[in-house]
Structure 1
Amino acid sequence: MIKPKRLQPGSKIAIISPSSGLPHLFPEIYELGLHQLQQILSLEVIEMPTARMAPDELYRNPQLRAKDINECFSNDHIDGILTSIGGYESVRILPFLDTDMIRNHPKFIMGFSDATTFLTYLNQLGMVTFYGPSVMAGIAQMKNLPLEYTEHLKALLFSSSFPYKLFPYPKWTNGYKDWKSIEHLGECREFYDNQHGWSFLQGGSVERGYLWGGCIEVLEFMKSTVYWPNEAFWNDKILFFETSEDKPSPMQVGYMLRNYGMQGIFSKVKGILIGRAKDYTMEEKKKLNEIAVKVIKDEFGAGDLPIVVDLDFGHTDPKWILPIGSKVELNPITREITLLECPFDEG
């Protein structure tokens, strides 16, 4: 794996809008996120031309969004890249990425949701990328989220303490209060206690593999394109999936999982991680778990494959940072999940 250099306080972070123009529509929450990057994480912010671009202009110009990414990687004064927010059609920027140049200038790049497209594609090309919070969704709310969240971000971004055990956050929320309300800017919706943490639905032995995944609906955009992994890629991977604010039904998620089974992927990977589904009721969560086991175990015979659910990544908050391409260990016996290697180049 090609790893980026570690960030440190004072690192210059470029902000891009590769998916949608929500910073243009909601500048207050966007600027709050920039403020938190500077004040809490001590990062220097550089806004790229697309960062505040109007939604219509962004939509019409996928090549401009890709140009921002290319320039971020080629500019020696930029240390890392962070998305402003997600969206729904960043897949259209992939043909315009200068992948040879990007591979030769590896840097920290992080986002989630629609950022799944370029994060997973760059990983296929050999780079470690990062699935985690964006400026408007996760960073802007830092002061209203558990302290453990800030500690996690600083540990993943700035420290070299690996192996690193992931822990459930003490509480979680489905989202944020109205971004139009200045009075409640950066506040979250109702919090729920996370007393029981995650659950292993199956798996009896310790497995190790390399993280790969993202938003399960966004990954559907990539199937049957040249940006989808080849058959050999899936060996020794631990897949992670999460659902978006569009809230696909448990049955729809089952349809998507079935496709992975038909590709023979469940016989090659070492585990499946499923993030906490946003806005699901307890009954819907139970149904999702049942369908995941039915598809993976009953339909495709992968009864020994660890399946872990209700994990702290994706569209609920607070979120983990998951380094795509880094080695992870799943231990069903102790119920532990451990990042085994540093995702940064320490040389």
Structure 2
Amino acid sequence: MKKARRLQPGSKIAILSPSSGLPFLFPENYELGLQNLRDVLEFEIVEMPTARMAPDELYQNPQLRAEDINHCFKDDSIDGIITSIGGYESIRILPYLDLDVIVNNPKMIMGFSDATTFLSYLNQLGLVTFYGPGVLAGLAQMKNLPSTYIDHLKSILFGEAFPYTYKPYELWTHGYQDWNNPEMVGQCKEFYPNETGWKFLQGNTTQQGYLWGGCIEVLEFMKATKYWPEEDFWQDKILIFETSEEKPSPNHVGYMLRNYGVQGLFSKVKGVMFGRAKDYTPEENVELHEMIVKVIKGEFGADELPIVVGVDFGHTDPKIILPMGVKFEINPQTNEIVLLESPFQK
């Protein structure tokens, strides 16, 4: 796997909008996210042409969005890329990506939700990519989230201490206060205590593998296209899935998982990780967890495959950063998720 050069305070980070024009609609929240990147992480910010583009114009120009990504990888002065937020149709930019430029000039590129399309595809092509917060969703709220969140961001983006053991955040929230209210910019909704942390639904043995996945609904857009992995890709992978604000039902998640089972993946991969399901009630979480086990174990016989749920990534806050393409270890006995190597060049 090709790793980017390590980030540090002063690194030049490009901001772009590969899917949704929400920075145009919510400039106060967007500006706060940029300021937090400058103040807390001490990054130098470079805004790409699509970063503040109006939603209609952005939608009409998938090639322009791809050209922003191409330019960032081509420009050696840029150290990393962070998306403004997700959306719903970034798959339209994939045909316009300059793969030779991107693969041969590895950079840190981070996002979540609809960014799943290019993060998962570029990972297939050999690039370490980062499933983590965006400017409006996760970084604008940085100073109003538990202090351990900032510690985590710095540990992953700047740190040199690996292996790195992830820890569940003590508090979590389902979302943000109204972005239309300037007085509530950067504020989160109600916080809940993370009393149990994440939970292994099954598995008895420690497994090691390389993360791949993202938003489970977005991955559906990619199936049966040339951007979907080949059969030999799945060995030694740990699948990561999370659900969006559209809140697919437990049954719907089961439908999607069943497709992975029919592909034969549950006999090839080393584990499955689910992010905390957004806006699920405790009762719905029980149904979801039962459905996951029903499909993976009950329908496809993968009764020893480790499955961990409620992990702090995706449409939840604070988020952990999950680098895809570097080795992880998941341990059902100790309830641990460990990043075994640096996601950056030495």
TM-score, normalized by the shorter chain, greater than 0.5: yes
1:258 alignment partner in structure 2: 258
1:28 is aligned to 2:28:
yes
Match of 2:86 in 1: 86
1:156 maps to: 156
TM-score normalised by structure 2 residue count: 1.00
Q: Distance in 2 between matches of 1:296 and 1:79?
A: 40
Distance 2:183 2:52 in 1: 22
Aligned residues between the structures: 346
Where does residue 77 of structure 1 map in the other structure?
77
What secondary structure does 2:320 align onto? coil
Name the counterpart of 2:144. Answer: 144
Deviation at 1:292? Answer: 0.2
For 1:172-211, list aligned pairs within 5 A. Answer: 172-211=172-211
Shift of 1:184: 1.1
Match of 2:321 in 1: 321
1:335 CA displacement: 1.0
Identity %: 70
Structure 1 residue 326: Cα displacement: 1.1
Q: 2: distance between equivalents of 1:24 and 1:331?
A: 43
> How many angstroms does 1:195 deviate by?
1.4
Q: Distance in 2 between matches of 1:183 and 1:140?
A: 13
CA deviation profile, 1:86-143 (whole Å, cap 9, x unmatched)? 0000000000000011111100000000000000000000000000000000000001
DSSP-derived class of the 1:114 partner: helix
SS at match of 1:82: strand
Shift of 1:181: 0.7
State the distance in 1 between where 2:337 and 2:182 align. Answer: 39
Q: Partner amino acid for 2:154?
A: K
Listed one character per residue, the Cα deviations across residues 291-320 of structure 1 (whole Å, up to 9, x for unaligned) are 000000010000000000000000010000
CA shift, 1:260, in A, is: 0.2
- Cα deviations by residue, 1:44-103 (Å, 9 ceiling, x for unpaired): 100000000000011011000000000000011111000001000000000000001111
Q: For residues 203-260 of structure 1, give each alpha carbon's deviation from its aligned partner in whole angstroms, at most 9, with x where no partner exists.
A: 0101000011100000000000000000000001000000000000010000000000
Residues 259-278 of structure 1 show CA distances to partners (whole Å, capped at 9, x for unaligned) of 00000010000000000000
Looking at structure 1, the residues matched to 76 and 263 of structure 2 have their Cα atoms a distance apart, in angstroms, of 41
CA–CA distance in 2 between the matches of 1:208 and 1:109? 24
2:68 is paired with a residue of what secondary structure?
helix
Letter in 2 for 1:28: E
- Kindly provide the amino acid, as one letter, of the partner of residue 176 in structure 2: Y
* Residue identity matched to 1:77: S
Instruction: State the match for 1:240 in structure 2.
Output: 240
Query: AA paired with 2:274?
Result: I
Matched residues in 2 for 1:225 and 1:305: separation?
A: 27
Structure 1 residues 88-167: aligned runs within 5 Å: 88-167=88-167
Equivalent position of 2:47 in the other structure: 47
Which amino acid in structure 1 is aligned with residue 253 of structure 2? V
Counterpart of 1:3 in structure 2 is 3
2: CA distance, partners of 1:176 / 1:301: 40
SS of the residue aligned with 1:210? strand
- Distance in 1 of aligned mates of 2:23 and 2:45: 15
Distance in 1 (CA, whole Å) between partners of 2:102 and 2:33 is: 26
Unaligned runs of 5+ in 2: none
Cα-to-partner distance string for 1:11-42 (whole Å, 9 max, x where unaligned): 00000000010000000000000000000110
Counterpart in the other structure of 1:295: 295
Determine whether 1:340 maps to 2:340: yes
2:212 equivalent in structure 1 = 212
Q: In the alignment, which residue of structure 2 is the partner of 1:312?
A: 312
Alignment of 1:222 with 2:222, yes or no, is yes
Partner amino acid, structure 1, of 2:212: W
- Quote the Cα distance in structure 1 between the aligned partners of 2:88 and 2:326: 26
Which 4+ residue blocks in structure 1 deviate beyond 2 angstroms? none
**What is the distance in 2 between the residues matched to 1:61 and 1:184?**
32
C-alpha offsets along residues 132-186 of structure 1, whole Å, 9 cap, x if unaligned?
0000000000011000000000000001110000000000000000001111110
| CA–CA distance in structure 2, aligned partners of residues 114 and 184 of structure 1 | 25
